[in-house]
A and B are shown apart, each in its own frame.
Chain A
Amino acid sequence: MSHDQEPDHDHEPDHDHEHRGHGHDHESHGHPPGQRHPFQPDLEDGPYSWHMALTDAVADLLLAKGLITADELRRTLEDIDSKSPALGARLVARAWVDPAFKARLLADVNAAAAELGIDAGPIPIRAVECAPGEHHVIVCTLCSCYPRLLLGAAPDWYKARAYRSRVVREPRPVLAEFGLELDPEVAVIVHDSTAELRFMVLPERPAGTEGWDEERLAALVTRDCLIGVARPRVPAA
């Protein structure tokens, strides 16, 4: 089936659903959607858009066909909620205190994460290490590839046109917009992610953190530090 038969070409994306779906008994079609839906509607979400209905419809069909189960869906949603930049921060903090771990992290992020009990997913992630005179930043110019299975969802701006277009051409002004002013002698290396290879930035350990434990160090490492649009900073005492 070709995509010109896409189901939605004659609907406005947010069109009102009031006039549709009434007066039908879908169960009488021998049609399972609606029988096994595992979620209560979230009435607080605001208007139920056509794309929300499409999402529920696709899920209902996959459930009805037994291609996915309600339990798998629930567990996947839990997994999505469990991932956050804090996991990346733990890896960075361990790397800062343990040079052998750092070497393993640079060799294979996914395996190093597994050492800490973190499932970073099946897609390889490469850590790129900042050093004096060398700063790294990540992007996905073609779409939105990001180590989501480790760090959680990418920020909206990472997926938007301005960042994707500009950071590869003029990284210094873009970083300056984020408040990161780099000295001219610092090289900026931009990494363009793909579906097969994702990146995370291993920032430099800030001065003034000697003797800190991992938990305290990890608290310095924000999501933006792991993308490379910020550097860890020791809060003023």
Chain B
Amino acid sequence: MRRHHDMGGLPAGPVERSEHEHAPWEKKVDAILRLLVAKKIMTLDELRRGIEELGPGAYDELSYFERWIRSIANVLLEKGVIGVHELGLAIEAAEARRAAAEACPKTVPAP
């Protein structure tokens, strides 16, 4: 049976030609993947398998690099390269860091 990513030859609408410049975070996802592949920590086939395992909903609703980073994280978890607990903490830390950076210019601490 055909899986959802295997779309060659299926009917579809017109080619949507609009394009976007890659955001810095998207380039960072790409850089992470390239380094992991270069260091043989994961392979491109694993990236693709991880994307396909996101399922039809995520495949169609997430953006391209959102699929990539989810796949990368899942493959790294699966291989035990990173742990689920430390990843949760690291996400919180990244969000807190960002919130602090956004608050910073607006907040002058009292002397």
> Chain A: residues with CB nearer than 8 A to chain B?
1-3, 5-8, 13, 17-18, 20-22, 24, 26, 29, 31, 33-34, 37, 39-43, 45, 48, 50-62, 65, 67-68, 72-73, 76-77, 79-81, 139, 141-144, 153, 155-157, 159-166, 168-169, 174, 177-178, 192, 195
Contacts and interface: CB of A to CB of B under 8 A. Distances in A.
A3 B77 CA distance: 8
B7 A161 contact: yes
Given A1-B84, A58-B82, A142-B5, A45 B92 contact: no
14 contacts: A3-B77, A8-B73, A33-B94, A48-B98, A67-B41, A72-B35, A73-B28, A76-B31, A77-B31, A79-B34, A143-B48, A153-B22, A160-B16, A162-B14
Q: Is the interface of B mostly helix, strand, loop or mixed?
A: helix
Given A22-B99, A51-B69, A142 B90 contact: no
Given A57-B94, A156-B18, A7 B87 contact: yes
Contacts of B12: 161-162, 165-166
A1 B80 contact: yes
B110 to A, nearest CB: 20
Nearest to B89: A31
Nearest to B10: A165
Given A26-B92, A60-B93, A165-B11, A3 B74 contact: yes
A58 B69 contact: yes
Contact of B25 (A13, A17, A52, A174): A52
Nearest 6 Cβ contacts at the A-B interface: A141-B8, A21-B96, A57-B90, A165-B12, A33-B90, A56-B94
B13 interface: yes
B82 A61 contact: yes
Given A7-B91, A17-B99, A72-B35, A55 B25 contact: yes
Contacts of B51: 143
Contacts of B86: 31, 33, 61
B31 A58 contact: no
Contacts of A62: 32, 35-36, 82
A34 B95 CA distance: 10
Contacts of B64: 144, 156, 159
Contacts of B25: 42, 45, 51-52, 55-56
A29 B10 CA distance: 51
Given A1-B77, A45-B23, A156-B19, A57 B28 contact: no
